[in-house]
Amino acid sequence: MSDRDRQQLPERSSRADIDAFLRQVATLSRVKPTGRRGRLIFAMDATASRERTWDRASHIQSQMFQETAALGGLEIQLCFYRGYGELETSPWLTDTGALQRQMTAVSCAAGYTQIERILAHTLEEIRNKRVNALVFVGDCMEEDPDRLSHLAGQLGALGVPGFVFQEGDDPIAERSFREIARLSKGAYCRFDAQSASQLRDLLSAVAVYASGGRQALERFGKERGGIALQLTHEIDKR
């Protein structure tokens, strides 16, 4: 993303974007609490255009662990791409310190997107063990959208929703990201540098929902308020 493109970004995510995300999450099937750790693949674009926001994402993901600790905890696998065909995945991690150490060791590098490999990797992980959800954070898409849609549809058929968070307003990325979310039966939301707190709360709410189901999300919404409480209200309307 060029400096000119960044200057043209809106100051913060629109109310319509947030409302659309809440409506999409509200359509998900109920997740029943199991007393087991929720398992979430946290996938990120680590190409050069996202270097400025990588540190913020490292802080945000720590909230996901904290909010699910009382529900049996959360296992997160960090997955990111960068450079020339480089795709890295971490072991399944159960504490924020380990994940932060993984993330702080990463430096962003120029390269093309590899979202297809992220989706294919998620499908492979599902064959080995249960995965509750995929979270993807990125700002652009440079691949065949039909191939991405095909893989996203497979995730949806297997009951693994994709929660897609777009940084910025690239229209090509938005079209594909919305389709990935729709076909995987997940949800899409756009954010920018001014809405990091909203992204934090939405990611935390997704983690709570994956780990503890609807009742846990309701408690989380009442305690946190704001965007998380709105998410709870949309779930209640189903």
The span from the CA of 118 to the CA of 98, in Å, is 21
What pLDDT does 51 receive?
67
CB atoms under 10 Å from CB of 26, counted, come to: 16
- Dihedral over Cα of 133, 139, 145, 147: its sign: negative
Mean pLDDT by runs of 10 across the 238 residues of the chain is 38 53 49 61 84 65 55 76 91 78 78 96 93 89 97 95 86 95 85 64 73 73 67 51
Q: What is the pLDDT of residue 42?
A: 87
Amino acid at 28: L
Query: What HEC string does the chain produce?
Result: CCHHHHHCCCCCCCHHHHHHHHHHHHCCCCCCCCCCCEEEEEEEECCHHHHHHHHHHHHHHHHHHHHHHHHCCEEEEEEEEECCCEEEECCCECCHHHHHHHHHCCCCCCCCCCHHHHHHHHHHHHHHCCCCEEEEEECCCCCCHHHHHHHHHHHHHCCCCEEEEEECCCHHHHHHHHHHHHHCCCEEEEECHHHHHHHHHHHHHHHHHHHHHHHHHHHHHHHHCHHHHHHHHHHHCC
pLDDT given at position 7: 40
pLDDT at 171: 95
What's the pLDDT score for residue 47?
A: 83
Tally of CB atoms within 10 A around 1: 18
Q: Which of 115, 118, 120, 134 is nearest to 176 (CA)?
A: 115
pLDDT of residue 32: 43
Q: What is the CATH number of domain 35-212?
A: 3.40.50.410
pTM above 0.85, yes or no: no
- SS3 string, 157-181, reads HCCCCEEEEEECCCHHHHHHHHHHH
Tell me how far apart the alpha carbons of residues 200 and 8 are, in angstroms, rounded to a whole number. 23
The confidence score (pLDDT) of residue 144 equals: 97
Pull the structure tokens for residue 103.
């993330």
**Closest listed residue to residue 189, CA positions, set 162, 223, 213:** 162
* pLDDT given for residue 105 in this prediction: 75
- pLDDT value, residue 183: 94
The domains of the chain are located at 35-212
